Structure 1
Amino acid sequence: MSAGKKILGLIALVLMAALWGSYFYLFQENRNGQLGASSDSSAWCGTPPSSDAAALGKDHLTLRITNNVRGEFLLSGAVIVSERTFDRYDLGRNELRLRLEPLQWSYGVTPIFLEQVRIKPLSRNLSSLDKSAYAELEARPIGVQGTAAAIPFDSYRYGYKPVLYILKGNERIDLKFKRITTRMEISNTFTPIQKYNRVEYINEKNSLVREEDYKPYGANECAFSVERKGSFKVIVLLLLLVICLPLMHVFYRDEPGIDFLATLVSIGAIRVLLVGPLNDFQLYNIDFLFGAAILLVGTVSLVKAMRANSRRELAAKSGSSW
């Protein structure tokens, strides 16, 4: 056996040991199908979720933030309006509306585009003791700062100030809700981290930082950064190492076999597992790594096939076997 093949064999053994070590690490981190504790992927800001607003019929807005595999963040929730607020603003005739004012995400940039969220018609229970009205928010995608193309190092920033309001003619009247809760309930591959002031949320080294940027956000302002868990990054590394097995095999063999097909199948399965099927030809950074692996295996297989064919031709001409 040549020295090159011995080195490849040693690397393969080290690789398999790394795969098993990573597997047992992930097994230890598993908590009923979660990467870590279930609370690691949820957080809240504003009024505590255990508020008694629903029971006492107090004004209360609850926002729920979730996500999907396409990197979209979805907003849903509900609003409870007390009898006093309902009568004061005549919400039986005036439509209750909600806008989300984005917090500043970069120094020198002032957000101007607002997110409008539709509230379904209020349902008033006059027979109840509190006589409050209730309505759900119409679920919709919400804009965040970040991109899914950087998986598994993708991170996102959510920062908004929700404001309920009504329109009377050309006049916009804001309703001052003191109880606003924002809940982050995202997939178990992410960790939401609440940011308490503008400096923490923007997270940029810039000479434009002022003293007022260190002041805490208001009670109705909510800011989070959403980052991938270390366990998920280990999973991605583990899957990428799996691709190295057929890649090493094609270097180890004198003649190409099914290594190219094995590479295609493994990359296809890993790609679907991580980010789902190809959607509208949207590419992620990791797709270029997959493409490089396919080209490398294909090139080495082709070169070795051409060499093997040349040896056969020479052997046929010389009348000897090889």
Structure 2
Amino acid sequence: MTVGKKILGLTAFLLMLVLWGSYVYIFQENRSGQLGGAFDSTAWCGTPPSADALSLGKDQLTLRVTNNLRGEFMLGGSIIVSERTFNRYDLGRNQLRLRLEPLPWSYGAMPVLLEQVAIKPLSRNLASDNKSAYAELESRPISVQGRATEFPFDTYRYGYKPVLYYLKGNERIDLRFKHITTVMEMSNTFTPIQKYNRVEYINEKNSMVRDEDYKPYAAQECAFSVERKGSFKVIVLLLLLVICLPLLHVFYRDEPGIDFLATLVSIGAIRLLLVGPMHDFQLYNIDFLFGAAILLVGTVSLIKAMRANSRRELAAKSGSSW
């Protein structure tokens, strides 16, 4: 056996070990179809979530942040207004509004764009003892700091301060809500992590860091980062290693042919499974790895096919069997 064949055999053996090891790890991480525990993809910040806010008649704003596999984030939620607040600000005539003031995501950079979230008309529950008002927030996408093209090592950051207000002529009147809760319900592949101060949220080594940057955020402020789960990264690794199987077959076969087609089909299926169909020809970093695998399998297959054809021509000229 040549040195090349020995190296190829050792590589194939190590590949199979990693494939089976990854498979066993993912099998152990499975929890009723979920990656990890039931609450690994959820978190909250602000006032602790409470289910009896409506019955107690307290002012409470609940925001819900969700996302999908592609890293697109949506914001929704609901609001409960007590009878006292409703009458004090005459919210029957004044439209209640919500703005999200972004927290600085970098030292020396102060964001100026505010995100406006529409609130549906308040409906009063006159049958209840507290006669509170309730409304849903209109779901809308939010812009986060992060690049989806870095998949599967993409991370996202989002920090904001929600402020409820209404317009009185040209004057903007802010309302003070003590109970503001943000509930993060992430996709199965993500883990949300709350950040408690500016240093943790910005996460940059910079000489501009001051002592006040270590102060905790206020109760109304919320900052968090979202990272891919380690088990999901193992799934991506497992699928990428599966693509190596047709490549190894190409090196072992004297006349590879179907391996190139198998590579194309497997890469197309894996790409669709991981990040979905391509939108506006947006390329992820992993797409270049897919492209390199296709080129490598195609190149080796073509070279071996050309060599096999040359051997046939020589055999035909010499009249012998090759």
Structure 1 length as normaliser, TM-score?
0.98
C-alpha separation in 1, matches of 2:206 and 2:11: 45
Aligned to 1:284: 284
Aligned to 2:99: 99
Aligned to 2:307: 307
Residues 1-44 of structure 1 show CA distances to partners (whole Å, capped at 9, x for unaligned) of 54423332232122112111111111111111111101111000
Aligned to 2:234: 234
Secondary structure of the equivalent of 1:25? helix
Give the RMSD, CA atoms, in angstroms: 1.0
Matches within 5 A, 1:258-297: 258-297=258-297
C-alpha separation in 1, matches of 2:257 and 2:195: 54
Residues 90-147 of structure 1 show CA distances to partners (whole Å, capped at 9, x for unaligned) of 1111110000000000001000001100000111112211100000000010111001
Residues 148-170 of structure 1 show CA distances to partners (whole Å, capped at 9, x for unaligned) of 11111000001110000001110
C-alpha separation in 2, matches of 1:208 and 1:91: 44
Matches within 5 A, 1:1-322: 1-50=1-50, 52-322=52-322
C-alpha separation in 1, matches of 2:172 and 2:114: 15
Contact 2:195 2:201 in 1 (8 A): yes
Contact 1:260 1:297 in 2 (8 A): yes
What is the deviation of 1:51?
5.5
What is the deviation of 1:69?
2.4
Give the letter for the 1:48 counterpart: P
Secondary structure of the equivalent of 2:188? coil
C-alpha separation in 1, matches of 2:240 and 2:76: 36
Contact 1:38 1:188 in 2 (8 A): no
Q: Which runs of 5+ in 2 are unaligned?
A: none
Give the letter for the 1:90 counterpart: D
C-alpha separation in 2, matches of 1:311 and 1:21: 41
C-alpha separation in 2, matches of 1:205 and 1:300: 46
C-alpha separation in 2, matches of 1:72 and 1:256: 41
Contact 1:61 1:179 in 2 (8 A): yes
How high is the sequence identity, in percent, across the aligned residues? 83
Contact 1:97 1:164 in 2 (8 A): yes
C-alpha separation in 1, matches of 2:208 and 2:51: 39
Structure 2 length as normaliser, TM-score?
0.98
Give the letter for the 1:38 counterpart: A
- Deviant stretches of 4+, over 6 Å: none
C-alpha separation in 2, matches of 1:68 and 1:225: 15
C-alpha separation in 2, matches of 1:70 and 1:231: 17
C-alpha separation in 1, matches of 2:3 and 2:209: 59
